[in-house]
Amino acid sequence: MTWWEGVHESRVLVAPDPGTDGNGSGQMISLRHPKSGNATQYLFVNGMLQEFQWFKNLYGSWFLGDYTSEDGRLYLSTPVDPVFIMLPIFEEARMKKGDDLGKFRQLDEMLFIDGYPGYQQLMSLVENCMQVVCEVKEVGSLKFFRLDDTKVLRWLCYKVSQLKQTLPKLDKNYAVQSEKDTLVDAVSILGEYLNEDHWLQPLCNHLKLNILEVTGKLQANAEESKPGLYNDVFQEEQSDDKKATIVKKGRQAKKIKLETESHNIRDMFSRASRKKN
């Protein structure tokens, strides 16, 4: 069964070719969103984890061979760093209390999450990527992981630095604003993936930012955003009664400006007919 089977209506999705790595496979998996905790659909293909975004003009459809898809939205799958997705899982798994640093755990224990079998499919990916934010102990052939707050903060600061350098290259508006405003923008973008108490607040403290500035930016972005692909489009079959259920809302995509000068194609033909008469 291919990963797109089970989708009830045709959609136009730009995603990596699942055959490029030679195994010809890709999987749609359900994981917890790292900020909201809601069930969210991701695409795991060619050893990479991808999240979904979409945008749509005011009017539009797709002609797919002899079929017309009324949904004129264009869907995109884009890479997401799996460390963001795994932070809350590893945070819970170490069972930290007070000043106690928590426990070392094996990956198969941490990734066994009731109702979310998709995590276990990411075992090799997680083992490689999470070492950057974890202490790792090896006992014989076994590896044990424990999230390290210092490593997480260092990794987040690196992400902020990279994003801060990239933003002015993407949009000239970033190039003319103050360095602090760009820093706030960078942190607010990362904040879409971060629990406020566990990681966003310590990050703001370290960078000497007022968290209200960052959360205010996040709220403004949320009000201008649209739900992503996994909110109301892709559906998955329930194993018990085989009824389709709407996949819950996850991370939201930024709102794209609507095309205001588009016209209904039926009206265009009507006007042309009247002119001939």
Task: List the domain boundaries for the chain.
Answer: 149-223
Residues contacting residue 55 through CB under 8 Å, at least 6 positions apart: 73, 74, 226, 253, 256
Band (pLDDT 50/70/90 cuts) for residue 251 is: very low
HSE at residue 116, side-chain half, CA atoms within 13 A, is 18
Share of the chain above pLDDT 70, in %: 73
Residue 15 has pLDDT above 90, yes or no: no
Band (pLDDT 50/70/90 cuts) for residue 257 is: very low
Residues contacting residue 22 through CB under 8 Å, at least 6 positions apart: none
Q: What is the mean pLDDT of the chain?
A: 78
Residue 228 has pLDDT above 80, yes or no: no
What residue has token string 């194993």? Answer: 239
Contact between 57 and 84 under an 8 Å Cβ cutoff? The reply is no
Report how far residue 257's alpha carbon sits from residue 231's, in angstroms, rounded to the nearest whole number.
20
Band (pLDDT 50/70/90 cuts) for residue 109 is: very high
Determine the pLDDT at residue 209: 93
Residue 227 has pLDDT above 50, yes or no: no
Band (pLDDT 50/70/90 cuts) for residue 96 is: confident
Residue 277 has pLDDT above 90, yes or no: no
Report how far residue 201's alpha carbon sits from residue 156's, in angstroms, rounded to the nearest whole number.
12
pLDDT in tens, 38-84: 999 999 988 899 999 887 777 788 787 777 777 778 888 999 999 99
Determine the pLDDT at residue 7: 56
Residue 230 has pLDDT above 70, yes or no: no
Which of 16-20's residues contact partners 24+ apart within 8 Å by CB, and which partners?
16/45, 16/46, 16/48, 16/50, 16/77, 18/45, 18/46, 20/46
Report how far residue 25's alpha carbon sits from residue 121's, in angstroms, rounded to the nearest whole number.
13
Pick 247 or 253 by higher pLDDT. 253
CA dist 186 to 164, 167, 200, Å? 6, 8, 12
Residue 219 has pLDDT above 80, yes or no: no
Alpha-carbon 191 to chain mean position: 12
Band (pLDDT 50/70/90 cuts) for residue 120 is: very high
Identify which of 96-105, 180-189, 228-237 has the greatest average pLDDT: 180-189
Residue 129 has pLDDT above 70, yes or no: yes
Report how far residue 119's alpha carbon sits from residue 127's, in angstroms, rounded to the nearest whole number.
12
Residue 108 has pLDDT above 70, yes or no: yes
